[in-house]
Structure 1
């Protein structure tokens, strides 16, 4: 088989150990044996708006609990469609795309747009003019998804592509960065509100109703990837920094009573750009947050953190009120989805600023090191990378989230990012652990193809391989079992492994929490200044995220904090078990098992541990790596089910992909072993042949149908009956088998 942990020599993908992944367009046959469209409503929003309950879970309009298996899609955005020399040559079909996603278990899409005027196309646009092309794409997409029972999340603004016109008269001029400005600049906020009004209040010509009245719009995201607590805060300069400093002065006078009393409270601490006579105060760089500081400097930095947090919180409240009261939109609102300059000390402040809205969110990817000239967007020959797996180190898992008690949280962007190569574990582990912890939605990033994405140029012009995708065999190919398991509630939600009560005042003082979702969090090193008097006097092992929900509540009594996780972590066997008893992960042998009545599976480095005997299913594989699952399709336990989906994902790479061992220079005299791309290959994907034996305890199964990638039966697999046990060999060049009577 192809080597997995490292490439011992240059080896080309393609040959007898792999099969070419080139499925024909889906014809959506009525007799398809695998079609999860039935999980969706006939029309999204048919029973009303999605709501959030007091447990932090989503519910449909009829009160039925719902979890969202979601994707980020840009299909149909390029109008008119312009083929690129090395890119797609045919226009993607938005209606086909919606049907394709629904068939594979998707019930939510995120439309990440930019509603500010396109000054390249419309240089004379006013700041209040909406980007009509982007708006039309959103309108068309909502209509197409709605017909297939797929809800929509709309992300209308990102500071990175935001451009200013000189004619707008925005303080700081046309060439400044937009980072952080939306939170306080009134000119920009005026334009932003006009864009929201044009998007939500005008009639969508493709549905006949405005988005503000369309219950298929489940979630509105105020802005993407911006925060006054992130490093981009340093980009605020000149008149904008002065204006924010003046607001800081007003905040301080309100707190202390006067400028002089403020300076006294700070023990005389000053910064070069302070203008105390005018009531304007400068800001520390956020690199000061983790440092040990003098009492006066610490007090000043604490006031700064509180002010910046409250500035964001006020913007979130005002905007949510505008959406609710002026535009009459009932969709749930998410304030933001970003991280901070110091995730351990500041992430709770970021989430605190979200409280005026209903839903929390984060963008969080799983990836290794990637070094190359276009490392942010493309893979080219000569790039160096590492290829980690959560099975070997689960701490960076994108589902390891510290949730605000009683509030939904969603992952608005995520993927197992190329060129890292162990991504078939992703959907299965995400479905399992988000079910355990109560994370309500996961949005895979991203696609511009209506069906599968084959290997190809990252931008359509540069010979390369794109890194930001999910529509490959490893991830999209393993959606069905994961989506079915997640959306059906087959994995139980656990009880809190960690519940921490945090006073906002302690957050401003930069006291560390007892646990952080930062992968590098060290409970011994990073938790030395927790709140005195807490029942938890030291840090919590980050593996607690795999035991059960990790929650934070903003309150006045840290003594109510509690933990219950250590008995589920066995350092001797390198095993972490969920407090439900259904999940287990061993990072020494590299495997994760799911064992519930209606869903059982394993993601593993089978070379280290080839056989897994679960309650009703045994998996034995000679593959080096893969993810196998058996999931009931009729809601019954596997022992009683009359229709079971068997799914197996291995690994894939582009045809002709070559890699070799190398050393990656990390700077500062540090290095790490890694891999080098010798050839980024070409279409189609090459998938490692399956080598898997399965035994299932079910007395009624009599037939096994092998399916193609469109869920259509293409043959049968011989079964061997041994009493109530049925055995089969999984076909080497397939991913799905349906067991039935």
Structure 2
């Protein structure tokens, strides 16, 4: 593949600068496949050799594993753990074995690609399913760190990738908006960080929140790239209208519109990166060899990813010499001068409670006095003050100079702190957001796009329950939009000079919308169904007359 020559450029893919990234084995973390690995003689041989090199004698292994080692086990017959999630020394050693083998494997791949194929593309691996702290040692040899996440990914009840399928169909803002926040800890500071697959999957009825959430997350975490999976799985869907499916943007007008929020908030940098950086840090690789068990990578305080930038850091420096990050030491076995470093957050990252974490963040000013984050009320506010998630009622607001918006429930009124926009939602939950189409702030922009997203489903789609958790049949075209209304109030410098237009999905104007003018504001009503239009309305243009 890499030696194929592009007939238009005359370059082999290996030398083409357009090839920027290589993920070597998609979702190929060894721990994902322990069940299969246990059955291969080659893997058993490699595992036993690794144990023999580490412990030298079976007596040393017995001292480490104690009763975990079966009396009949000896080098050559030692079994893999039953589960990688067992909190045992056998499982811990297996994780270290996988980590070291991953490092060795990727180094061989890099040497081949760099030295034999002369390819300079950045190389990564290990991007889904199972995550342990020891995996970061392997990621440290990558050129960049990549990950995947999905909200409402289907689970197949009878046969893989065949209906019926099941998903939770819940508001993604509940439970501190879990979607991407865990995956921020996959990041290794000092390396590019990407998410090459993400989606808020159809037919989830709350997926309209996905664009706002991902756009803010990627901006707040100052990521390097993000790709929604996928645009299309077929040529036919690109050339012709097709019914909604789990993943493809080309068949989902709601997620297409939602994706523009990611573009504006993240790619256009409308939302600001976090003001602080927190790192789970370790500079003693021997820490892992001393542990009875190795913790999973994602701490229970991953909600902090909605407040500030988080990640992991492997460094040879003492923590007091690392100036760019607030460090949460992986090991408690640290001494002066590290222990009294002003950038040290003194709580155990994998054995703490949420309130202890929040107290530590407040003590360092990461959560400032004006930040209204409240764990009991399930409110999380970014240190930029541009994002607020109210997880208890399943709503959010985003308030930046060029893009502002909300996700809320019926009969909910949300006012942005800057008063740039006020939204009264009716009839249906909805994502409502506005973005400027020039370089100006909302208050003085000459042209803006307003998006109103409720839910989009196929005609004659069939669910097996009233909660819409079990999908039985996809249905057919045309797409149907859930009816929803909202009243929008915009704060503008010259509100009397603006017109509001309902738009078709191709951007053409359908109908001018009535409006109400006050000295500093423009108010108008929107609806997914507008009289005299044949199609659902999701988009509006606000422009100077």
Query: Residue deviations 1:642-700, cap 9 Å, x none?
Result: 222211111011112344646xxxxxxxxxx7745575422121012341222222224
Is 1:474–2:254 an aligned residue pair? yes
Query: Residue deviations 1:515-551, cap 9 Å, x none?
Result: 953xxx6x5xxxxxxxxxxxxxxxxx33212111122
- Tell me if structure 2 keeps the 8 A contact 1:504–1:555: no
Please list every run of at least 4 consecutive aligned residues from structure 1 whose deviation after the TM superposition is greater than 6 angstroms.
none
Query: Residue deviations 1:77-128, cap 9 Å, x none?
Result: xxxxxxxxxxxxxxxxxxxxxxxxxxxxxxxxxxxxxxxxxxxxxxxxxxxx
Q: What is the rounded CA distance, in whole Å, between the counterparts of 1:260 and 1:510 in structure 2?
A: 17
Q: What is the rounded CA distance, in whole Å, between the counterparts of 1:268 and 1:504 in structure 2?
A: 26
- Tell me if structure 1 keeps the 8 A contact 2:502–2:539: yes
**Which of 470, 482, 485 is the equivalent residue of 1:688?**
482
- Tell me if structure 1 keeps the 8 A contact 2:428–2:485: no
Q: What is the rounded CA distance, in whole Å, between the counterparts of 1:245 and 1:573 in structure 2?
A: 48
- Tell me if structure 1 keeps the 8 A contact 2:488–2:524: yes
Query: Residue deviations 1:369-391, cap 9 Å, x none?
Result: 756324x42444xx655311112
Deviation at 1:711, TM superposition (A): 2.3
Is 1:396–2:178 an aligned residue pair? yes
Query: Residue deviations 1:298-322, cap 9 Å, x none?
Result: 2x54443222211101111221222
**Which of 294, 297, 311 is the equivalent residue of 2:101?**
311
**Which of 276, 280, 285 is the equivalent residue of 2:81?**
285
Structure of higher RCO (CA pairs closer than 8 Å, 6+ residues apart): 1
- Tell me if structure 1 keeps the 8 A contact 2:167–2:469: yes
Q: What is the rounded CA distance, in whole Å, between the counterparts of 2:65 and 2:292 in structure 1?
A: 16
Deviation at 1:211, TM superposition (A): 1.4
Superposed counterparts of 1:247-258, under 5 Å? 247-249=49-51, 252-253=52-53, 255-256=54-55
Question: Hey, what does 1:710 align to over in structure 2?
Answer: 506
Unpaired segments ≥5 residues, structure 2: 320-328, 330-338, 346-356, 529-535
- Tell me if structure 2 keeps the 8 A contact 1:655–1:684: yes
Question: Hey, what does 1:654 align to over in structure 2?
Answer: 458
| TM-score (ref. length: structure 2) | 0.79
Deviation at 1:614, TM superposition (A): 4.4
- Tell me if structure 2 keeps the 8 A contact 1:368–1:387: no
Question: Hey, what does 1:723 align to over in structure 2?
Answer: 519
Question: Hey, what does 2:311 align to over in structure 1?
Answer: 551
Q: What is the rounded CA distance, in whole Å, between the counterparts of 2:166 and 2:91 in structure 1?
A: 40
Is 1:360–2:145 an aligned residue pair? yes
Cα gap change, 1:266 to 1:516, in 2 (>3 Å): closer
Unpaired segments ≥5 residues, structure 1: 1-198, 457-465, 524-540, 663-672
Query: Residue deviations 1:21-58, cap 9 Å, x none?
Result: xxxxxxxxxxxxxxxxxxxxxxxxxxxxxxxxxxxxxx
| TM-score (ref. length: structure 1) | 0.59
Deviation at 1:638, TM superposition (A): 1.1
Cα gap change, 1:450 to 1:247, in 2 (>3 Å): farther
Question: Hey, what does 1:320 align to over in structure 2?
Answer: 110
Question: Hey, what does 1:25 align to over in structure 2?
Answer: none
**SS of residue matched to 1:474:** helix
Deviation at 1:586, TM superposition (A): 0.7
- Tell me if structure 1 keeps the 8 A contact 2:408–2:425: no
Deviation at 1:575, TM superposition (A): 1.2
Query: Residue deviations 1:693-733, cap 9 Å, x none?
Result: 22222224523333221223344333433223122223533
Question: Hey, what does 1:612 align to over in structure 2?
Answer: 415
- Tell me if structure 2 keeps the 8 A contact 1:370–1:419: no
**Which of 442, 453, 462 is the equivalent residue of 2:226?**
442
Question: Hey, what does 1:580 align to over in structure 2?
Answer: 384
Superposed counterparts of 1:396-475, under 5 Å? 396-400=178-182, 401-402=184-185, 403-446=187-230, 447-448=232-233, 449-450=237-238, 454-455=242-243, 466-471=245-250, 472-475=252-255
Q: What is the rounded CA distance, in whole Å, between the counterparts of 2:177 and 2:262 in structure 1?
A: 21
**Which of 613, 625, 630 is the equivalent residue of 2:429?**
625
- Tell me if structure 2 keeps the 8 A contact 1:358–1:408: yes
Q: What is the rounded CA distance, in whole Å, between the counterparts of 1:634 and 1:272 in structure 2?
A: 73
Query: Residue deviations 1:270-320, cap 9 Å, x none?
Result: 4588553xxx363432526433x5xxxx2x544432222111011112212
Cα gap change, 1:727 to 1:475, in 2 (>3 Å): same
Superposed counterparts of 1:327-366, under 5 Å? 327-340=117-130, 343=131, 346=132, 348-366=133-151
**Which of 283, 287, 297 is the equivalent residue of 1:506?**
287
Cα gap change, 1:384 to 1:413, in 2 (>3 Å): closer
**SS of residue matched to 1:230:** helix
Superposed counterparts of 1:478-557, under 5 Å? 478-496=258-276, 498-502=278-282, 503-508=284-289, 509=291, 516-517=297-298, 523=300, 541-555=301-315
Cα gap change, 1:438 to 1:724, in 2 (>3 Å): same
Q: What is the rounded CA distance, in whole Å, between the counterparts of 1:303 and 1:675 in structure 2?
A: 39
- Tell me if structure 2 keeps the 8 A contact 1:392–1:590: yes
Cα gap change, 1:262 to 1:384, in 2 (>3 Å): closer
Q: What is the rounded CA distance, in whole Å, between the counterparts of 2:499 and 2:10 in structure 1?
A: 47
Q: What is the rounded CA distance, in whole Å, between the counterparts of 1:260 and 1:378 in structure 2?
A: 51
Q: What is the rounded CA distance, in whole Å, between the counterparts of 2:139 and 2:167 in structure 1?
A: 35
